[in-house]
Structure formats: structure tokens, C-alpha cells
Amino acid sequence: MLNKIKVIGFDADDTLWVNEPYFRNAEFRLADLLKPYTPGTDIVDELFKTEIKNLELYGYGAKAFTLSLIETAVKLTGKQVPAAIINEILAMGRSLMNISIELIDSVDKVLPRLQPHYKLIVVTKGDLLDQERKLKKSGLLPYFHHIEIMSDKKETDYQKLIDYLEILPEEFMMVGNSLKSDILPVIRIGGIGVHVPFHTTWQHETVNELPSQPYYEIESLSQLPDIMADFL
């Protein structure tokens, strides 16, 4: 099956570089800031509910997250949150958009081995400007043909991508840390999925269902060339 692959898509956040822990830290910081105003409330859980409520309207990414942090602060304090805390949340949001890039595993060694043989693309659902900036800062830009920013990563989104790339589903491999967003929808439409778990996964990205089609699971991106060894 692997001999047909023409394009390999890589998820970005928590596949190419560390991202989720910065968002987790921001959640804990919000909880610290609001604790005096809402004793006994599970602030992180309330934030999650706000994020899910806003997902359809705001989409993914640091700006959406910042707006949900602010909304949670206003709501949980019964509109009593001091503007100084709003100011601090705005600063937290800005620093999320300015994180320094820490590459995961040996991605900068893996990509140059694959690039001569495949069209490599980044496939992400974050924020356009934010993801472009992270890709530039990562130093990985030269390895990628282009970056595809999707508003979501469902089956129809991947089908549109494959049509746009003018390839067949079996010619597409997707590599990522989210079973829900990177693997399940891809294997359901006939593509190849390679799951590389990351230690921290956002609650919204977890799945209960077990995939009925097979996919690859590797511990580290450094194992990806082993899977493709016959073709490199």
C-alpha cells in the first residue's frame, strides 16, 4: 500500500513542535487568577465548556482561546472580574502567539530524508497567521511544498484537500498526534494514517471509539523513515 504514497501531510502543533503544554499552562494561570472570585468552581472545566460553545463561531487557535479565557473570567466572576486580570489574560494570549519553537524529536532530521521522494505539506487547523509564523520560526519551511490551513479536520475537509491536490486517497499519508483529527478521518476516506502520540492532548481531541481500519502507530517521528524504508 505504501508504494502509492505521493503526498505526506504533517499536522503541526504537537506533531512538529510543542504546543499544548503552553495552552495547559495558560489554563492553570487562569484558574489561579480567578480562584479568589469563585472558590469551589472547576475553572478549567468551565473554560473547556466555553471553548466548546465557541468552537463553531471562533474556530481553533490562540486568538479564539484568548477570547474564551476572557469570556470565562467575565462569566465566572458574575461580571466582577477586575480589568487588571483582563489585561493579564490579553498578555497571556500574546505570549501564546509568541512562543519559541521547540521541535519534537528529530523532525529536522526526518523531513530531509523524505523530501526528495514525496511532496510534504503541513495540514493544520490552527490560526493562519499564527501557524505561518510558527512554521517560519521552526526552520522547517524549506522542507514543505506548502501549508494547508483548514477550518476543521473532518472527512469532508480531507476529501477536499485530496481533490485539490489532484491525487487519490491511497496516495495520501497523514502524520499527526491526534487520532480524532489526523488519523480517523483520513483512514475512513481511504488514506494512510500514522499516529505519533504526544504526552499532552487537549480534551476535545480525545476519542472513545476505536478505529475499524488499520493505521500505523509510532512512538517517535524518527521511526517514520523506517516505515517508508523500501522507498527512500
* Contact positions vs its own copies (CB under 8 A): 57-59, 63-64, 66-67, 70-71, 73-74, 77, 79-84, 86-87, 90, 93-94, 97-98, 127-130, 132, 146, 149, 151, 164
Nearest approach, Cβ of residue 172 and its own copies (Å): 18
Nearest CB to its own copies, comparing residues 73 and 104? 73
Nearest CB to its own copies, comparing residues 63 and 113? 63
Nearest approach, Cβ of residue 229 and its own copies (Å): 32
Nearest approach, Cβ of residue 24 and its own copies (Å): 21
Strands 119-124 and 7-10: parallel
Nearest approach, Cβ of residue 10 and its own copies (Å): 19
136-158 burial, b at 16+ Cβ within 10 Å, e below that, comes to eebebeebbeebbbbeebbeebb
Q: What is the DSSP string of 165-195?
A: HT--GGGEEEEES-IIIIIHHHHHTT-EEEE
Nearest approach, Cβ of residue 211 and its own copies (Å): 27
Alpha carbon distance 53, 47 (integer Å): 10
Please report which residue ranges of the chain form alpha helices under DSSP H: 20-34, 43-58, 62-76, 83-96, 107-114, 128-138, 155-165, 184-188, 224-227
Nearest CB to its own copies, comparing residues 110 and 124? 124
Nearest approach, Cβ of residue 56 and its own copies (Å): 9
> Which residue type is seen at 109?
K
Nearest approach, Cβ of residue 61 and its own copies (Å): 8
For the record, the C-alpha cell of 229 comes out as 524504508
How many other C-beta atoms can be found within 10 angstroms of the C-beta atom of residue 186? 29
Nearest CB to its own copies, comparing residues 93 and 191? 93
- Integer angstrom CA distances of residue 123 from 12, 36, 57, 157: 7, 41, 21, 11
For the record, the C-alpha cell of 49 comes out as 465548556
Nearest CB to its own copies, comparing residues 71 and 108? 71
Nearest CB to its own copies, comparing residues 16 and 64? 64
Nearest CB to its own copies, comparing residues 72 and 195? 72
